[in-house]
Structure 1
C-alpha cells in the first residue's frame, strides 16, 4: 500500500500522552508539513505557534477548560506536553478551510514520525479574548487572526486506539 495512504488509515486521535518532551528536530518536521498544506489561491494566510513551554501550555489548557465548561482539574489537552496552535487571517474568506488543511497535515506528519496528536477546539474563543490578542502582540503578530485549532502533540501513553468501522453509504458515484 502507498505509504501516505497507510499513514492516513492508521492515524488516530490520541487522548493520553506521556509527559516526555518532543525533540525540536521532530517538531520542526511537523511544522514544515503544516507550511506545505494546500491553501486558497496560494495566499498562505495561516500561521502556527508552537507551545512547548509548560507554564504557557498549562495556562492555555486552563483557559480552554473554562471555555469548554469542564470541571477544575480536567486537562482538555490530555497531558500533551506540546501544542501547535493554528490561526488564520480573520479577513481571509478561506481561513477555516486553509487552517483545517494545516491541522490535517500536522496530525498526519506527527503520526508518520511516531508522535500522537489530537485536534483540540476552542482556539477561536481563546484568541477573541484580550489574553489572546495580547499574546499575539507579544509575539510581534499585528494582523487580526482567528484561532482555528490546537494540535496537541506528544508520545502516546498506552495503546493506539483501534479504528472505528467505516459507516456505509457515505460515497455516491455519478459516472
Structure 2
C-alpha cells in the first residue's frame, strides 16, 4: 500500500503522551506540511502558532480547561489537561474576513496530523481554539505575539510521542460510508 495512504489509515487520535520533547526539526516538518494545505482561492488565510514553550502551552491548556469547566462538559475524560500531556500544541487560526477560513484551517489541521503520523508521532485535534481566542486572555496572547489581524481559532493540534498504551484498535468503517454512483 502507498505510504501516504497507509499513514492516513493508521493515524489515531492520541490522548496519552510520553514526557519526551519533540525535536524542532520534526515540528518544522509538520508545520511545513500544514502550510501546503489547499485553501480557498489560495488565500492562505490560516496561520499556525507552534507552541513548544511550556509556560505558553500550559496557559493555553488552562484557558481550554476553563472553557470546559464553564460549560460543565466532560470532554477531557477526567483529565486536568485537555492537551493530554502533549508537549507541543500547534494552534491553527484563520483570518475572520475569509469566507473559507474554517475549511482552510481544517485542511491545515489534517495535513499536520498526517505529517505527525508519518514521522512516528502521535497527534489529536483538540477543540475550543475558537473560544480560547475569543477570551480576553486569548486576545492578549495574540497581542503579545504581535498578531494584529482578526483571527478565529480553528483547532489545536497536539503533538508528541504516544505513550505505549495510548493507541486504541482501529474502529471498523461503517458499511454505508461510500455510495458508488457509476
Q: Given the two structures, how large is their TM-score scaled by the length of structure 2?
A: 0.92
CA distance in 1, matches of 2:157, 2:16: 14
Superposition RMSD in Å: 1.4
The alignment status of 1:50 with 2:50, answered yes or no, reads yes
Match of 2:121 among 99, 104, 115: 115
4+ aligned runs moved over 6 Å, structure 1? none
Residue 23 of structure 1 corresponds to 23
TM-superposed deviation, 1:173: 1.7
Unaligned runs of 5+ in 1: none
| Deviations 1:38-60 (CA, angstroms, capped at 9, x unpaired) | 11111101000011111111111
Question: Which residue in 1 is equivalent to 2:151?
Answer: 145
Q: CA deviation at 1:73?
A: 6.3
My pick for the range that moved more, 114-123 or 56-65, is: 56-65
Q: Which deviates more, 83-92 or 57-66?
A: 57-66
Does 1:166 pair with 2:161? no
Partner of 2:108: 102
